[in-house]
């Protein structure tokens, strides 16, 4: 069961990344569909990636039932499908998924600070992320953030390079840096009215870049020729690539640990989280495995995991004696009534 | 570091905002420029729902304060006033409007100005393309002799369809964004 938690986490991360990748193309496909340009696209398709991707989406949309295949040629049916597709839009920064409006609390709070007013739409959008963070802690960083997933790859690459015998530096900064950035950015928004934090917040940048990419592909598919040349992306991906390089060579997980303003906000929101990692010290063998694997560079053996823990549960998975466990308020009551299974790994080792 | 930043705030407020760059139209329902820039978080949902892809996002060409905010380049594609973008804004930087005649009239994106020296109709060659593109014909725009367009600023919402449709190159009718409009009128000595 413990090992499967990490599989679950990877599945969630990958599905979020797929959503971030596919949503921009769905958005552009909706425009093609509403303007009845799919037929023209099919006729003018000369094997370019841009044309292929929209025709592939078209095939998906027509697959569920054979009757709809013919109906999608009628204007009314096209409008119905386009209306349905309108409910999927945005990116991790702010999105709407089948009626659920989701806005990153960082963007929301920045907007509130800059405009000095609170709007209903914003509160509705921030409701679900804030509630989840209050209960589960900083899970956005470890379970959802697509940039976090990319930066986790740097850890693997570092391990690989170390195995090859390449010397890598690992500089550590103060974790207070990210709180300073958050406070500085919010103060900037409040006093000057410039909401700047969204411009160097990797998940927002990634979403924006993919939308830009799908947009260029839209025009390319209609033109049947390249409209942009090889430079599809703007500076934002360069910024992320720059962080990537630094994290591999100089400082492991630099951005998430020390500099991410969004992570800082989630950490503050989740500081009183209900579900925490706890060490039942009786089984602990002081193997220090959890300290070695912790992506945030923390010490899960300590009784209080603290502000920085993002509940990625890597330490829980790696703990061989089964000493670490999830702690929540009603756990003791549940265990006393025999509703929860006892932790088995400890018994296995004993036998 | 945190203690040093507030020292520069008064200086940052003095910076000339927006003055160096060409301004484009904002989507319908946008608040006044200053307020809009404070509210908008650059999520791009308005650009996502736009059915004729007239809303695009600023890159770095508009300066830091405009980065990732929506714009409408009227010459490339004007706004058809479907009001889809005003329904989806998560921060209410675009206020909700309905695609009814009253809702369309409530839009204030800018005002069209005719360059009479290059307009075909004013040179005696009957054209009238901009009038036929106007979503509020007879109110925002009326026709004179040789189909000469006359814009009525109190009804013109600045959707930019006339600028998109203009057959003259460069365009003989231009929509000036509402954020530029007051400056421009002030320069001419007309009270805003």
Closest CA to A234 of A210, A198, A204, A255: A210
In a domain, residue B107? The reply is yes
Q: Is B26 exposed, middle or buried (0-12, 13-18, 19+ CB in 10 A)?
A: buried
In a domain, residue B14? The reply is no
In a domain, residue B11? The reply is no
Closest CA to B59 of B77, B73, B75: B73
- A contacts of B91 (beta carbons < 8 Å): 103, 107-108, 111, 115, 119, 121-122
Give the model's confidence band at B2: pLDDT under 50 very low, under 70 low, under 90 confident, else very high. Answer: very low
- Return d(Cα A80, Cα A63) in angstroms, integer: 16
Are B48 and A30 contacting, i.e. CB atoms less than 8 angstroms apart? no
Give the model's confidence band at B162: pLDDT under 50 very low, under 70 low, under 90 confident, else very high. Answer: very high
- A79 and B CB contact within 8 Å: no
pTM score of the predicted model = 0.85
- Selected residues 64-103 of chain B with any CB under 8 Å from a CB in chain A: 64-65, 67-68, 84, 88-93
Closest CA to A315 of A304, A296, A300: A300
In a domain, residue B1? The reply is no
- Return d(Cα A337, Cα A333) in angstroms, integer: 6
Are B114 and B96 contacting, i.e. CB atoms less than 8 angstroms apart? no
DSSP for residue B30? B
Cross-chain residue pair A89–B49, CB shorter than 8 Å: yes
CB pairs under 8 A between A and B: 119
Cross-chain residue pair A184–B2, CB shorter than 8 Å: yes
Measure CB to CB from residue A122 to each of B52, B60, B91 and give the nearest one.
B91
Closest CA to B25 of B152, B111, B150: B111
Cross-chain residue pair B45–A89, CB shorter than 8 Å: yes
Q: What is the pLDDT of residues A300-332, one digit of tens each?
A: 887 677 888 888 888 888 888 888 888 777 776
| Chain B closest-CA separation from residue A1 CA (Å) | 38
Alpha-carbon distance values, A291 to A160, A318, A323 (Å): 19, 10, 13
- B contacts of A27 (beta carbons < 8 Å): 48
Domain count, chain B: 1
Q: Which domain holds residue B79?
A: 19-187
In a domain, residue B91? The reply is yes
A-interface mutation test, from B8, B40, B64, B91, most A Cβ less than 10 A away: B91
In a domain, residue B113? The reply is yes
- DSSP H stretches of helix in chain B: 5-14, 33-39, 45-49, 84-88, 101-106, 129-133, 161-165, 178-188
Mean pLDDT (chain B, rounded): 84
Strands (E) across B139-185 are located at 141-143, 149-151, 173-177
Ranges under pLDDT 50 in chain A: 344-351
Task: Break chain B down into helix, strand, coil percent, rounded to 5.
Answer: 35, 15, 50
- Return d(Cα B55, Cα A216) in angstroms, integer: 14
SS3 A66: helix
In a domain, residue B8? The reply is no
- A contacts of B70 (beta carbons < 8 Å): none
Closest CA to B94 of B33, B36, B176, B53: B36
In a domain, residue B160? The reply is yes
- B59 and A CB contact within 8 Å: yes
- Return d(Cα A280, Cα A285) in angstroms, integer: 11
B-interface mutation test, from A75, A102, A119, most B Cβ less than 10 A away: A119
- B12 and A CB contact within 8 Å: yes
- The H or E element containing residue B114 is strand B110-114
Q: What is the pLDDT of residues B94-144, one digit of tens each?
A: 999 999 999 999 998 988 999 889 999 999 889 989 999 999 999 999 998
The Cβ of residue A123 has, within 10 Å, a number of other Cβ atoms equal to 13
pLDDT score recorded for residue B183: 64
- A103 and B CB contact within 8 Å: yes
Closest CA to A87 of A98, A79, A95, A76: A98
- Return d(Cα A92, Cα A17) in angstroms, integer: 9
CB under 8 Å to A287, separation ≥6 — which residues? Answer: A320, A321
| Chain B closest-CA separation from residue A86 CA (Å) | 6
Half-sphere CA count of A199, side-chain side, radius 13 A:
18
- A34 and B CB contact within 8 Å: yes
- Selected residues 283-342 of chain A with any CB under 8 Å from a CB in chain B: none
Indicate if the pLDDT at residue B92 is higher than 50: yes
Give the model's confidence band at B191: pLDDT under 50 very low, under 70 low, under 90 confident, else very high. Answer: very low
Q: Are strands A100-103 and A276-279 parallel, antiparallel or unpaired?
A: unpaired
Are B80 and B159 contacting, i.e. CB atoms less than 8 angstroms apart? yes
């Amino acid at each position: 069961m413990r090992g499967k938690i990490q599989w679950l986490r990877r599945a969630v991360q990958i599905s979020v990344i797929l959503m971030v990748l596919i949503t921009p193309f769905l958005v552009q496909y909706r425009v093609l569909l509403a303007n009845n340009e799919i037929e023209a696209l099919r006729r003018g398709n000369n094997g370019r990636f841009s044309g292929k991707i929209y025709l592939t989406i078209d095939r998906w949309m027509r697959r569920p039932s054979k009757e709809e295949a013919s109906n999608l040629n009628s204007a009314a049916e096209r409008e119905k499908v386009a209306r349905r597709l309108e409910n999927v839009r945005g990116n991790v920064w702010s999105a709407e998924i089948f009626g659920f409006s989701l806005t990153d609390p960082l963007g929301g709070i920045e907007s509130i600070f800059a405009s000095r007013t609170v709007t209903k739409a914003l509160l509705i959008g921030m409701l679900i992320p804030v509630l989840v963070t209050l209960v589960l802690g900083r899970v956005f960083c470890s379970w959802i953030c697509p940039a976090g997933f990319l930066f986790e790859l740097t850890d693997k690459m570092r391990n690989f390079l170390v195995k090859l015998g390449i010397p890598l530096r690992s500089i550590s900064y103060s974790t207070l840096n990210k709180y300073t950035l958050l406070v500085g950015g919010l103060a900037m928004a409040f006093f000057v009215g410039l909401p700047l934090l969204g411009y160097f917040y990797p998940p927002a940048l990634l979403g924006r870049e993919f939308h830009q990419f799908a947009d260029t592909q839209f025009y390319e598919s209609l033109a049947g020729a390249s409209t942009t040349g090889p430079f599809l992306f703007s500076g934002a991906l360069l910024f992320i690539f720059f962080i990537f390089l630094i994290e591999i060579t100089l400082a492991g997980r630099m951005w998430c640990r020390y500099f991410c303003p969004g992570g800082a906000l989630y950490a503050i929101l989740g500081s009183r989280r209900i579900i925490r990692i706890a060490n039942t010290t009786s089984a602990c063998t002081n193997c220090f495995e959890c300290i070695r694997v912790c992506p945030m560079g923390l010490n899960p053996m300590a009784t209080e995991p603290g502000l920085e823990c993002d509940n990625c549960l890597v330490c829980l998975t790696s703990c061989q004696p089964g000493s670490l466990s999830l702690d929540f308020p009603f756990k003791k009551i549940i265990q006393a009534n025999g509703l929860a299974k006892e932790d088995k790994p400890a018994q296995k080792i004993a036998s | 570091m945190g203690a040093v930043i507030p020292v520069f705030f008064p200086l940052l407020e003095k910076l000339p905002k927006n003055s160096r760059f060409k301004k484009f139209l904002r989507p319908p329902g946008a608040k006044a420029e200053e307020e809009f820039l404070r509210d908008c978080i650059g999520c791009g949902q308005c650009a996502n729902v736009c059915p004729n892809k007239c809303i695009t996002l600023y890159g770095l060409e508009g300066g830091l304060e405009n980065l990732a905010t929506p714009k409408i380049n009227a010459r490339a594609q004007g706004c058809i006033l479907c009001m889809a973008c005003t329904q989806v804004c998560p921060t209410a930087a675009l206020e909700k409007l309905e695609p009814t005649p009253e809702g369309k009239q409530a839009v204030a994106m800018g005002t069209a100005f005719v360059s009479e020296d290059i307009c075909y109709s004013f040179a005696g060659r009957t054209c009238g393309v901009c009038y036929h593109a106007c979503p509020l014909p007879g109110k925002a725009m009326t026709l004179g002799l040789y189909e000469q367009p006359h814009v009525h600023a109190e009804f013109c919402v600045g959707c930019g369809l006339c600028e998109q449709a203009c057959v003259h190159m460069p365009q003989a009718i231009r929509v000036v964004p509402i954020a530029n409009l007051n400056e421009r009128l002030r320069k001419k000595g007309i009270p805003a």
